Amino acid sequence: MLEPFARPRASETIPEMIAIIQTLIAKGNAYEAADGVYFSVETFPQYGALSGNALANLDAGARVKVKEEKRHPADFALWKKTVGENALHILRWPSPWGEGFPGWHIECSAMSRKFLGPKLDIHTGGEDNIFPHHECEIAQSECSGGSPFVRFWLHRRRIDLGEAKMSKSLGNILSLPDLAAKGYDPLDLRYLLLSVHYRTPLKFTWEGLDAARRARRTIVDWMEREGSGEYASADVHHQTFLPEDVAEFDRQFNEAMDSDLNTSAALAALFSCLHQANTCAPPSGSMKDVLRSFIAKVRTTFGCFEPEGKIEIPPDIQSLLDERAAARLRKDFAASDRLRREIEAKGFILNDTKNGMRMTKK
C-alpha cells in the first residue's frame, strides 16, 4: 500500500515562514501593507522565466484581486493580517506584523527549507502549478536563500477523466479510497502513472487501470519467484541467461531514467528482462545475485513492486483449492483446469511451481 504522506502542520513551519519573510523585507524584496506583507515581483527580474510569462504582460496573476495596497498587480501575499475581509479568518498566528496567516506560496518554501534544505535537485508538481505557484516559490526562495532554488523542475501533464480534465472545480476527482472501494491497490494507480511519461497527458480509464493492475501483478509475481527460487513447472526453452544479458537490461533501464525520467522506457527494459528470464533455465550461482540486484534497483526506484504478503483465502476458495489438489493427485487434469478457471474467475491467480502452488490476487 502507498504510505500516506504526512504533510507537516502549518504551525510547525510558522517560525520558518516568518524568518523568510523578515529576510525578504530586510533585502527590499517585500513590503508591509495595511492588510498584509507582499512580495515585490519587480525586485526579482527572473519572475516569469519558468512559465514564460513576461512581467510586463501580467495583471492580477496571483489569484488575488488587485488591491490599492499592492505596488504591482502581480505582487503576491506572504502574510495576511486578520483585518478587513480576513478579520474573522479561522487561521491566525502571532507575527511581527500582527495576528494573521501565511499566504498561499510561502509554506512550500518554508517546508522545503526546514525539512530538505535550501536547495533542491528535483521539484515536481502538476502543470497547473507552474504559474503562479512555482514562479512565486522560486522568487521568494531565491531572494531569501540564494540561487538556484531548484536544479530541475518536472511538471506532470494533466490527467483526463473520460473527455474532461480531472479537476476539483469540476467535481470529478477520484481519490485513493474510491479506487480501494473498487478492489484496486493504490500501487496499481502508481504503476499506471509510471507507465506514461510525465510530459504526456494521461487519459484515465478503468480499462487502463485494469491493465496496469495485471501488468504490475505479473512483475511482482516474477520478482517473488526470482527471490524465492520458485519457478514455473512448465517446460521452458533452456537458453542460458548470462550476466551480460542482465547488464544490458540494466543499461537500458539506466539510460531511460537518465533521459528525462522516461519511466515508460524503463518499464519496457524491465519487461524485456522478465520475458528473457521466463524463457531461460532458472538462474543459478552468481547469476541469481546479478538478477536479484537488478530487481532490487527497480523496486527501490519505482516503489510499487514490493512483495504482496500473505493472502487471506476465503473458505469457498479454500474448498476449491482442496478439490483441485485432489484432482491433481488422481491426475484428473481436466477437472484441475476447470477448478483453476473457477478460482481465477473469483479474482485469484494460480501458479504451479516445482515447490508447490502459489496464489496471488488479481
What pLDDT score does 108 carry?
Answer: 95
Quick one: angle between helices 263-278 and 186-194, nearest 10? 110
Whole-number Å distance between alpha carbons of 49 and 52:
5
Over residues 55-65, the pLDDT tens digits come to 877 754 444 45
Domain residue extents for the chain = 10-156, 186-302, 315-361
What pLDDT score does 160 carry?
Answer: 85
For 261, the enclosing helix (H) or strand (E) is none
79 phi and psi, to 5 degrees? -145, 130
**Class of CATH domain 10-156:** alpha beta
Whole-number Å distance between alpha carbons of 30 and 13:
19
In the chain, which residues have pLDDT < 70? 1-10, 59-67, 163-170, 228-238, 308-311, 353-358, 362
Chain-centre distance for alpha carbon 250: 22
Residue 284's SS3 state is coil
What is the pTM assigned to this prediction? 0.71
Question: What b/e string do you get for 283-315 counting C-beta neighbours within 10 Å, with b at 16 or more?
Answer: beeebeebbeebbeebbebbebbeeeeeeeeee
Q: How far is CA 234 from CA 227, 240, 280, 341, in A?
A: 19, 17, 12, 18
What pLDDT score does 5 carry?
Answer: 42
Over residues 243-285, the pLDDT tens digits come to 899 999 999 999 999 999 999 999 999 999 999 988 887 777 7
The answer to whether the 10-156 and 186-302 domains have the same CATH topology is no
Whole-number Å distance between alpha carbons of 213 and 203:
16
CATH, domain 186-302, list 1.10.730.10, 3.10.129.10, 3.40.50.10470, 1.10.3720.10: 1.10.730.10
What pLDDT score does 2 carry?
Answer: 40
